[in-house]
């Protein structure tokens, strides 16, 4: 990516506001993903949105939206944590749905389990009421871009 992207990433770090980075990903904008820094950690939020409902009888968030939210959270977490020159590319994603995602705000937290020079493994937990009662957990593997040479 360009120097403009690196500048945008640097500014996002300084301000603790990652909205400009999320706006570069059309699907993140479509489903409404937000990111905030809480201490040293990143916390991702998927606000309740009628367009994200998959089962109107419950109502429940569509499982694909939950999966997309969690995958985006993991990619953004890696991008922000590593300062990668571009959004990391997904290699593999495995998701366990634990309970229905009700029509309310959904939160996600990511943890890098292992990072090598070219591949990183990330664990993602999504919840609605309390973090101790997750609605889904996932594991993602990403291909990392080589850092830009100075």
Which parts of the chain sit beneath pLDDT 50?
Answer: 1, 150
User: For position 150, what pLDDT does the model report?
Assistant: 45
User: For position 147, what pLDDT does the model report?
Assistant: 58
Could you tell me if residue 149 is inside a domain? no
Could you tell me if residue 148 is inside a domain? no
User: For position 75, what pLDDT does the model report?
Assistant: 93
The two three-digit tokens of residue 23, written as one number: 């706006």
Structural domain count, the chain? 1
User: For position 2, what pLDDT does the model report?
Assistant: 53
Looking up residue 101, the CATH number of its domain turns out to be 3.10.129.10
DSSP state of 88: P
Instruction: Please choose, from the candidates 52, 57, 92, 84, the residue with its C-alpha nearest in 3D space to the C-alpha of residue 69.
Output: 52
Could you tell me if residue 150 is inside a domain? no
User: For position 71, what pLDDT does the model report?
Assistant: 97
**If DSSP codes are grouped into helix, strand and coil, which group holds residue 32?**
coil
Alpha carbon of residue 48 to chain centroid: 16
Could you tell me if residue 81 is inside a domain? yes
Q: What are phi and psi for residue 37, nearest 5 degrees? A: -95, 130
Structural domain of 114: 3-143
Could you tell me if residue 97 is inside a domain? yes
Instruction: Please choose, from the candidates 62, 70, 52, the residue with its C-alpha nearest in 3D space to the C-alpha of residue 138.
Output: 70
User: For position 1, what pLDDT does the model report?
Assistant: 45
Return d(Cα 103, Cα 55) in angstroms, integer.
Answer: 10
User: For position 146, what pLDDT does the model report?
Assistant: 66
Place of tokens 């706006």: 23
Could you tell me if residue 133 is inside a domain? yes
Could you tell me if residue 60 is inside a domain? yes
Could you tell me if residue 136 is inside a domain? yes
């Amino acid at each position: 990516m360009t120097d403009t992207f690196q500048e945008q990433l640097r500014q996002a770090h300084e301000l603790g506001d990652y909205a400009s980075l999320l706006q570069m990903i059309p699907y993140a904008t479509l489903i409404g993903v937000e990111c905030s820094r809480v201490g040293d950690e990143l916390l991702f939020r998927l606000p309740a949105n009628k367009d994200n409902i998959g089962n109107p009888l419950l109502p429940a968030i569509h499982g694909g939206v939950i999966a997309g939210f969690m995958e985006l959270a993991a990619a953004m977490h890696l991008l922000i944590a590593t300062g990668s020159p571009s959004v990391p590319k997904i290699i593999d994603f495995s998701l366990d749905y634990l309970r229905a995602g009700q029509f309310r705000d959904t939160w996600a937290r990511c943890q890098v389990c292992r990072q090598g020079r070219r591949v990183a493994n990330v664990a993602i937990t999504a919840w609605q009421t309390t973090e101790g009662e997750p609605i889904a957990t996932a594991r993602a593997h990403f291909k990392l871009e080589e850092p830009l040479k100075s």
